[in-house]
Structure 1
């Protein structure tokens, strides 16, 4: 595997792609994400990795363009997790949930390609119901796993009090 592409962000807020020796825009960075290219964005002065910040900026711009993924309530829930004892588990849970969703999306596309001769509306409806059931089972499993993490109560300890003498 090759080293990730390096994009430098300068104080004037311009992004410089070292792989093509040219300035690029956030739209170009978005294209790299869509193309599944490996890259890192670093601050040109400090060399700090600021990739997450740039990705959040892209998400923010996409959310403002009219068809948002995140509702106000979802964003409020996410904000409330910061500082909570379960904050670390939440990131892992979201990552696994999104991966399960992406896997189901690929499965659905593959299944649709295999059944071109069938009634598309019926097939999509059946497939959606099937995928929803899988999605719900996956979320239930992830939730149970998160409860069984380091904060889960132990069930193998003896909770009976010793008899007092006296």
Structure 2
């Protein structure tokens, strides 16, 4: 037997209510209860991961929070959706690509790699939108133009990442020269 969440007043009095600061105004709040159920506060109903995926696909702004602590669980839920997508049907990432991503965790370049992937995905999305727009105008061979633009932007981002790595290495090497017992 499932029980509906306590009323707002009952939750506040019992201390179960996460702070209102845990979800910014204008962001759809999804609460995750200890029984692993997700509760959509906008529709006052329980939802599934498939419903959350639909929100992602619709570009809705939402946050998943732990119903008791108010901790942000959005990334965890999104990773669950990715896991389901990767295990069912045709996976997006090869085993080798996943292993390479794992190797970046804890590496000094972890933050840069995340930023690089995020920018590259956004660039791909932007170019995909342009391709769709250009296909309406019937440009000759829009796929070739799309891939050329994508490769140019990807190369620019990779070059910027290499420049940042070089600057960090130079800075690190310069700082090593400041330690006693090292030669300049």
Calculate the TM-score normalised by the size of structure 1.
Answer: 0.81
Q: 1:74 to 1:85 in 2, by over 3 A?
A: same
Cα shift readout 1:89-133 (whole Å, capped 9, x = no counterpart): 111111111111111111111111111xx6xxx614433442344
| Cα distance in structure 2, aligned partners of 1:123 and 1:70 | 28
Q: Say whether the 8 Å CA contact 1:17–1:24 is kept in structure 2.
A: yes
* Residue of structure 2 equivalent to 1:153: 170
* Residue of structure 2 equivalent to 1:141: 159
| Cα distance in structure 1, aligned partners of 2:43 and 2:142 | 42
* Residue of structure 2 equivalent to 1:106: 129
Moved over 2 A (4+): 124-149
**Aligned residue pairs: how many?**
152
Q: 1:79 to 1:100 in 2, by over 3 A?
A: same
Structure 2 residue runs of 5 or longer lacking an equivalent are 1-23, 178-182
| Cα distance in structure 2, aligned partners of 1:25 and 1:7 | 11
TM-superposed deviation, 1:134: 2.4
Q: Say whether the 8 Å CA contact 1:100–1:138 is kept in structure 2.
A: no
1:153 alignment partner, SS class:
helix
TM-superposed deviation, 1:45: 1.3
2:39 alignment partner, SS class:
strand
| Cα distance in structure 2, aligned partners of 1:28 and 1:91 | 27
Calculate the TM-score normalised by the size of structure 2.
Answer: 0.73
Structure 1 residue runs of 5 or longer lacking an equivalent are none
Q: 1:134 to 1:4 in 2, by over 3 A?
A: same
| Cα distance in structure 2, aligned partners of 1:69 and 1:138 | 24
